[in-house]
Amino acid sequence: MATVTVSDIDETRCEIKHIDIRSIAGKRTPRTLTEPRSGSITITQYRSSFTSLLGPSPTFSLLLSSFEASKNPFFHSICAYLPAHEELILTSNLLQPTSASAQPVILITRARLLRHATSPSTIRSIEWQKLRPPPSMPMPASGAPYLDGVLYCSQGTSSPGTGGLYYMPRGHPPVPIVTNYFGREFNSVHSVTVSQNDGALWFTDPCFGADRGFRPQPEMPCQVYRFAPQTGDLRVVADGLGRPMGIVLSPDEETVYVGERGAEGEEGGEETGKATVYAFDVVRRSGGVFLANKRVFAYVLAGVPGGIVCDELGNVYVGAADGVEVFCAGGGILGVIEVPGGVSSLAFGKAGELFLCSEQRLWRVRLTGLESLPGSSMSIEDV
């Protein structure tokens, strides 16, 4: 598909609304979500400690948009930043095929960032190219930077033997990493995080493919897995989850965060359904690695949890219907980066830079406080 260049990218200062969290409990005024037609990002600050992350002048930029044209949700799941190549790899939500009898499709977006030579924090233009995933790696959901390329979560199709984790080196076809659990097919692998300590791959396997009609009925429960490429050790590390979604390791890799939502069409909907981020301790016993001490870390304020990332200080950023909800490592809400239409996936770029997928829009937010604070110099507390 043709490459489109987008120039004249504006950078605008975020409005910050200060709300004392102590005043909320006694109020009955409901929160309202930012109208998707809005073209601006605002920040609600609940705790004074959030200032250390925001800095004196956080800004936002609209990088790419299909809102005014096709309205196709090109910016949905993967949001992987490749610093060596100044590229973002993104995947769409389900797109309707041209034939009524065909299955929905997912497209990959490659966005090359062209920065100012003397001001690398400023993006002057973007080269945007939409790509079809290789036939051997159908329906990619989320993914992560990996070696010299991207690790994709392929959800698979109705055909047997499809789906799993695939590594696509730059300029080369995908290589299967793990595609089954001892002969049993995964449901529809969704999200993955890569250990920087031992290279292990932690991934979630909900059954959205079956929910949406492009995968067979599941052979196994919706679970969380850990795969060690060096040894081939594949094991289930968490079960009992409805639809495990985003997953991320804390910076010290002692905690794993997993977002959970209910089945599509589940009674109660998003207002009363499952929308929890759980925390697990990573423990080692008898040469094995396990998840233990499952606990509620947070229940999102709006919608269901999407992508989850951590900054170097251990704070947790969760995509949700109101934008990005930011929690300290103790689980206290620091604030919300309110994004029109919500955020389904997100990724950190250069220092203080956060890329946000919002279905029909791709945004960038600069948290100027993070730009100048080394990870070892501070911690954010629940105050």
Render 113-176 in DSSP notation, one character per residue: EEE-SS-TTSEEEEEEEEEPPPTTS-SEEEEEEETTEEEEEE---SSTT--EEEEEETTS--EE
Can you tell me the distance from the alpha carbon of 17 to that of 54, in angstroms, rounded to the nearest whole number?
A: 12
- Looking at residue 375, what is its pLDDT? 40
- Looking at residue 383, what is its pLDDT? 44
Report how far apart, in Å, the C-alpha atoms of 249 and of each of 50, 252, 309 are: 21, 8, 8
- Looking at residue 31, what is its pLDDT? 72
- Looking at residue 326, what is its pLDDT? 99
Question: What does DSSP say about strands 15-18 and 42-45: parallel, antiparallel, or unpaired?
Answer: parallel
Digit-by-digit pLDDT tens for the chain (383 residues) are 789 999 989 999 999 999 988 888 777 666 777 777 788 999 999 999 999 999 999 999 999 999 988 999 999 999 999 999 999 999 999 998 877 657 889 999 999 999 998 888 899 999 999 999 999 999 999 999 999 999 999 999 999 889 999 999 999 999 999 999 999 999 999 999 999 999 999 999 999 989 988 999 999 999 999 999 999 999 999 999 999 999 999 999 999 999 999 766 554 445 557 899 999 999 999 999 999 999 999 999 999 999 999 999 999 999 999 999 999 999 999 999 999 999 999 999 998 999 999 999 999 999 999 986 554 333 344 44
Q: What is the pLDDT of residues 180-189, one digit of tens each?
A: 999 999 999 9
Can you tell me the distance from the alpha carbon of 352 to that of 348, in angstroms, rounded to the nearest whole number?
A: 7
Neighbours of 304 (CB within 10 A): 23
Contacts of 166 (CB under 8 A, 6+ apart): 136, 137, 151, 152, 154, 174, 175, 176, 177
- Looking at residue 271, what is its pLDDT? 53
Can you tell me the distance from the alpha carbon of 24 to that of 53, in angstroms, rounded to the nearest whole number?
A: 22
Residue 161 and residue 179 in contact, taking contact as beta carbons nearer than 8 Å? yes
DSSP bridge partners of 150: 145, 168
- Looking at residue 272, what is its pLDDT? 57
Q: Where are the beta strands (DSSP E) in 184-302?
A: 184-185, 191-194, 201-205, 223-228, 233-238, 243-249, 255-261, 275-285, 288-299
Q: What is the DSSP letter of 95?
A: B
- Looking at residue 2, what is its pLDDT? 83
Hey, what domains does the chain have and what are their CATH numbers?
Answer: 3-371 (2.120.10.30)
Q: What is the pLDDT of residues 244-273, one digit of tens each?
A: 999 999 999 999 999 999 766 554 445 557
Residue 244 and residue 260 in contact, taking contact as beta carbons nearer than 8 Å? yes
Residue 40 corresponds to which tokens in the numbers above? 């601006």
Neighbours of 252 (CB within 10 A): 11
In the sheet where 255-261 sits, what is the strand order? 243-249, 255-261, 275-285, 288-299
